[in-house]
Structure formats: structure tokens, C-alpha cells
A and B are shown apart, each in its own frame.
Chain A
Amino acid sequence: MNFLQHDVPLSWYLLLSAILFSLGVVGFLIKRNLITVFMSIELMLNAVNLSFVTFAYQWHEVRGQIFVFFVMMVAAAEAAVGLAIIIAVFRARSTLAVDRIDLMKL
């Protein structure tokens, strides 16, 4: 079985990462729910992490993986603060639709 021994070109991983990132941007633009918009941001972060891991593999550089580790840390902090902001916005406006949240004052 020659098929089983095939290696995957690293550019495919990078291409997958580019596709995921673009899908995240599309989600950011078309979704009308605050939480789903936030999920699209997480999707973009994950796509960038994949390309970091790919480059770390290519150049045998462990700092690429450490960068992903730090991105995960910051993303976890960002998710906690972002969701708290969403709860505060919901409490003030009683809606999650981004079209309705268009004034800075209460």
C-alpha cells in the first residue's frame, strides 16, 4: 500500500489555516449574534495557531509552539473578559443582536 506511506505537504496545512481564517472573517461579518461573532474570533485565533505549529514543525523551532501556548493563554483570558462584557451588555440592553447595539450610551 503505497498510499499509506504518503506524507502530507506542509503547504496543505497552511492552506487549511488560510481557509479557516477566511471562514472566521466571513462569520465575523455575517453573524448577527454577539456570542457567535465572538466565536468567529476564536476560530480565527485557532487558524493562526495552526500555521504557527506548521512553521514550528518545518524549521524545528520550539518557539513557534511556545507562541501558540501564549496565544492560548491570552485567548482564555480574552474569552473570560469578553463573555463578561457580553453579559453586561445583555443586562443593559436585553438583546444580543449586534444591529440593536449601536449606541454607546445606555
Chain B
Amino acid sequence: MHLILFFLFAGFCLAGAINLLLQTHPINSALSLIVVMTSLAVLYLLLGAEFLAIAQIIVYSGAVMVLFTFVVMLLNAGREERTLGSRAASRVGFPAVVVLFAVLATIVLHVQGLGAAHLGEGLSNAPGQSNLVLLSQVLFHELLLPFEVTSILILIAILGAVALAHVEGSKMGRSERTAEK
């Protein structure tokens, strides 16, 4: 069962990622990224991370991707132009990616002591204890300060996003504004 689910959703993941690269229209890429993220949520569930699976669906496939599709539609982003790209990207970039993947795969396959994943097994050794309990114990006791700092980060990000996307004096044109300075 586990094997079937793994292959199914790993396949979805890879198909979505490859489709993201092949599509020329940004909205199609965004939709395939949603497929990737939702199948990753199922893989998290297989690895016993229920909370992260739900957070992945809500935060990533929900909030972040809605933001992406919203911007794609707002800017009316059309089909991308197929340029050949810079020479550095093709001559240095692709061999570098192949080397990167080879290095990553070698490291991954040589990690000692990796076991196998059993379905329905969480992080806790005690039976019946959800790993949400473990997670919140550590998060709200030991890591309370980083958690609160994250909320300040989010607040600053909201302010920054508003400040960046905000148009000052929309009645004036750009040339008038620069003339005033």
C-alpha cells in the first residue's frame, strides 16, 4: 500500500515539476506547481507528519499559490518568449546542474543507517501519541522566541509588500514625479 502510494504521488510530483518546466504560459506552470505541492503533502502524510501535510496544503497550495495565480492574472502575463538564454546558462549551468544532481544522489545513497518508512508510524515512540503533541511541546516551550520572532517577520513582510506594491500619487504620471524631485 505504502509502495503504491509512494510511486503514485512521487510520479505526480515529478510529472508536475517537469510540466512546470515545459509549459510556456505562467498560469499552467502555477497549476502544475499546485499539483507538486499537494502530492508533497501526501508524501509528508506517509512520513508521519500530519501537521505539516495540512500546513503544506493550507499555506503552500492555498495561500502562496493563490498569490501567484493572482499576480499572474493581475499582470496579464502572457506566453513567455523563447529565447535561447544566455550562453553561460547553457554552457556552465546545465553541466553544473548535472554535477549537482550527481553529488546529491551520491550523498543521499551513501547516508548510513537509513531505514524504511512504515505506514502509520509517527515520531513518537509511545504508541497513540500524536506527533502534533510532540511538535507543539517543543515549539511552544523551547522555541517560543523564534516562533514569536516569525510573527514579527510576517508583519514586516506584509508592510513591505504593501509599501512595494503601493502607488504613490496615482494622479501624477511618472515623468511629473521625477521632475518634482
Contact = CB atoms under 8 A, between A and B. Distances in A.
B71 A35 contact: yes
B168 to A, nearest CB: 12
Interface SS majority for chain B: helix
A29 interface: yes
Contact of B59 (A6, A21, A76, A90): A76
Contact of A31 (B80, B108, B125): B80
Contact of B17 (A20, A66, A69, A78): A20
Interface of B: 1-4, 6, 10, 13-14, 17-18, 20-21, 26, 29-30, 33, 36-37, 40, 43-44, 46-49, 51-52, 55-56, 59-60, 63-64, 67-68, 71-72, 74-75, 77, 80-83, 85, 89, 93-94, 97, 100-101, 104-105, 108-109, 111, 113-119, 123-125, 131, 134-135, 138-139, 143, 146, 150, 153-154, 156-158, 160-165, 167
Given A36-B80, A62-B123, 6 more contacts: A3-B3, A12-B6, A39-B20, A56-B47, A58-B115, A72-B56
